[in-house]
Amino acid sequence: EAQVTQNPRYLITVTGKKLTVTCSQNMNHEYMSWYRQDPGLGLRQIYYSMNVEVTDKGDVPEGYKVSRKEKRNFPLILESPSPNQTSLYFCASSPRGGRFNEQFFGPGTRLTVL
C-alpha cells in the first residue's frame, strides 16, 4: 500500500530535550516536506527536500533541522524544543515533474513541549 508513515504519532517532551520525528514514504517520490498545523493558521511548510541531500527552508524553519540521506526518509529534528513548537506535524511527499504534483500526507504527529 502506497503510504507516508510518521513516528511517533504522539509525543510529550520537555523544553530542551532533543527529539526526532521520522517520516518514510514507499512511493519513490523525489519531493518531501514537513508542515506544522496550528489553530487559526492552517498548515505551514517548515522544510522541504527535492531529492537526496537537497533540502531547503520553507516558511517557518526556525528551530528545526532536517536531513535527506535516503530517498524514502525525511526526519524532522528539534535540537532544543521549546513550547512554541507544540503543534501537529505532517510529513508529505510528491513525485517530481509531470502535471499532477499531488502531495500525499502522513497521519500526523502531535507534539507537546512542556
Partner 1 sequence: AQSVTQPDIHITVSEGASLELRCNYSYGATPYLFWYVQSPGQGLQLLLKYFSGDTLVQGIKGFEAEFKRSQSSFNLRKPSVHWSDAAEYFCAVGPLGETDTGGGNKLTFGTGTQLKVEL
State which residue, 43 or 80, has the beta carbon closest to partner 1.
43
Q: How far is the CB of 44 from partner 1 (least distance, A)?
A: 8
Q: Does residue number 99 form part of the binding site for partner 1 (CB under 8 A)?
A: yes
Shortest distance, position 92 Cβ to partner 1, whole Å = 8
Tell me whether strands 109-113 and 10-13 are parallel, antiparallel or unpaired.
parallel
Q: Does 45 bind partner 1 (CB under 8 A)?
A: yes
Nearer to partner 1, 21 or 32 (CB): 32
Q: Which residues contact 78 (CB under 8 A, 6 or more apart)?
A: 18, 19, 20, 21, 63, 64, 65, 85, 111
Q: The C-alpha cell of 109 is what?
A: 504527529
11: helix, coil or strand?
A: strand
- Compute and round to an integer the Cα radius of gyration of the chain: 13
- Is 46 near partner 1 (CB under 8 A)? no
- Give the interface with partner 1 as residue ranges (CB under 8 A): 31-33, 35, 40-45, 48-50, 56, 58, 90, 92, 94, 96-103, 105-108
